C-alpha cells in the first residue's frame, strides 16, 4: 500500500471472475479492552479460507520505461538467498486489491473514499489522519465487514502462494505487514499458511452492537512510519541476521533502514510507483523471478 504522496503511478487492470469459494467463513467475536475506549468487539480469525480466482495481466517489464534495477546484483541475490525472514506488504502486493477501497466500494462509499484519496495524494498527509478520514466516510459495521469477507474472498497475486511455500521450505520466516486491517488480512494469512502472530496490521473496533468505533491507534501500523517500526520490532525480537521487505509503496521502502530491512524488493506487478521503484534494490514484475532465484 502506498503512502499518500505525489508520484507517477501505472496500474494494471484485474477482472473479478464470478466464481466464489464454496466455503464461506463464519467469524466469532472476541471481547477485548483497548486503551480507554472500554469494551469493543473484534473478529477472530477463521480456521480456513479459500481465495477467489483472479484473472490478472501483470505489467510487463519491457513496457514500463528504463530502470537499472530490474536485474539483481550479485550482492542482492546473496542477500535474498540468505534471508531468514521476509516481510510482505499486503495491498497491491500479496493481494491485487487495496483493501480499504474495496470495503468502501462494497459499503456504497467507494466514490467518496476514492475522491478523498485523490485529494490527499496531492500533498503530504500523516497516515493516521488519512486512515481516520477515509473510515469516517463510511463507518463500516461489524455486519458489513462480515458480509464483505463472505462475498469478496481475497484475490491473491499470481505466484504468491508458490513463493511462500518455497520460502517456508527453506526455513525462511514469512510476515505480513500492512496498514490495512487484520479482519481482512487474517483470511489471506490462512490461505498462505502464515501464523497469526506473524501479522502486523491494524484492527477495526466495534461496539457491543457491532457499530463502528474506529481503529486501534496502539498498533504501530496505524501511524506514519509504522511499517518501518514493525520491521525493526520483528528484527530486534527475533534476532534475524538478514531481513527482506517486499512491497509496492513508499511506506514499504521506508522499512529499509539500520535495524530494519537489509533489502527492499519493489513488486510492481499491480502498481508501478516509479519514485519507489527507482530506489529499490531489485524491481520485479512477477514473483516467479524470486522463486527462480531460490532454486
Give me the active site residues, please. 89, 91
Give the Cα separation of 182 and 188 in Å (integer): 10
Three cell numbers written together for 120: 490527499
Q: Are 230 and 221 in contact (CB under 8 A)?
A: yes
Give the Cα separation of 255 and 195 in Å (integer): 21
Give the Cα separation of 9 and 276 in Å (integer): 10
| Site of grid cell 491494524 | 202
Query: What DSSP designation does 198 have?
Result: G
Q: Are 44 and 27 in contact (CB under 8 A)?
A: yes
Strands (E), the chain: 9-11, 14-16, 29-33, 39-43, 54-56, 85-88, 173-181, 199-202, 204-206, 212-215, 243-247, 263-267, 271-273, 282-284
Three cell numbers written together for 10: 501505472
Q: Are 4 and 125 in contact (CB under 8 A)?
A: yes
Residue whose C-alpha is closest to residue 182's, from 99, 109, 104, 60: 99
Distances (CA, A) of 103 to 22, 153, 267: 21, 12, 23
Amino acid at each position: 500500500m502506498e503512502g499518500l504522496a505525489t508520484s507517477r503511478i501505472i496500474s494494471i487492470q484485474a477482472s473479478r471472475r464470478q466464481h466464489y469459494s464454496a466455503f464461506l467463513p463464519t467469524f466469532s467475536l472476541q471481547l477485548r479492552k483497548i486503551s480507554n475506549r472500554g469494551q469493543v468487539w473484534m473478529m477472530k480469525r477463521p480456521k480456513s479460507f479459500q481465495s477467489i480466482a483472479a484473472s490478472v495481466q501483470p505489467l510487463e517489464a519491457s513496457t514500463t520505461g528504463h530502470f537499472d534495477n530490474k536485474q539483481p546484483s550479485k550482492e542482492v541475490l546473496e542477500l535474498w538467498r540468505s534471508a531468514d525472514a521476509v516481510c510482505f506488504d499486503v495491498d497491491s502486493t500479496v493481494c491485487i486489491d487495496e483493501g480499504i477501497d474495496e470495503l468502501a466500494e462494497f459499503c456504497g462509499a467507494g466514490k467518496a473514499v476514492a475522491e478523498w484519496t485523490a485529494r490527499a495524494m496531492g500533498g503530504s498527509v500523516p497516515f493516521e489522519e488519512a486512515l481516520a478520514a477515509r473510515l469516517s466516510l463510511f463507518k463500516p459495521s461489524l455486519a458489513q465487514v462480515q458480509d464483505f469477507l463472505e462475498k469478496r474472498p481475497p484475490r491473491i497475486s499470481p505466484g504468491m502462494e508458490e513463493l511462500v511455500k518455497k520460502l517456508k521450505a527453506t526455513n525462511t520466516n514469512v510476515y505480513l505487514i500492512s496498514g490495512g486491517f487484520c479482519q481482512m488480512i487474517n483470511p489471506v494469512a490462512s490461505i498462505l499458511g502464515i501464523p497469526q502472530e506473524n501479522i502486523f496490521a491494524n484492527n477495526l473496533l466495534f461496539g457491543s452492537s457491532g457499530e463502528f468505533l474506529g481503529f486501534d491507534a496502539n498498533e504501530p501500523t496505524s501511524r506514519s512510519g509504522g511499517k518501518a517500526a514493525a520491521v525493526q520490532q520483528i528484527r530486534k525480537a527475533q534476532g534475524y541476521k538478514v531481513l527482506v521487505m517486499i512491497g509496492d509503496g513508499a511506506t514499504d521502502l521506508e522499512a529499509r533502514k539500520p535495524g530494519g530491512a537489509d533489502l527492499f524488493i519493489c513488486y510492481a506487478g499491480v502498481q508501478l510507483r516509479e519514485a519507489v521503484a527507482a530506489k529499490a534494490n531489485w524491481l520485479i514484475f512477477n514473483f516467479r523471478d524470486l522463486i527462480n532465484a531460490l532454486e
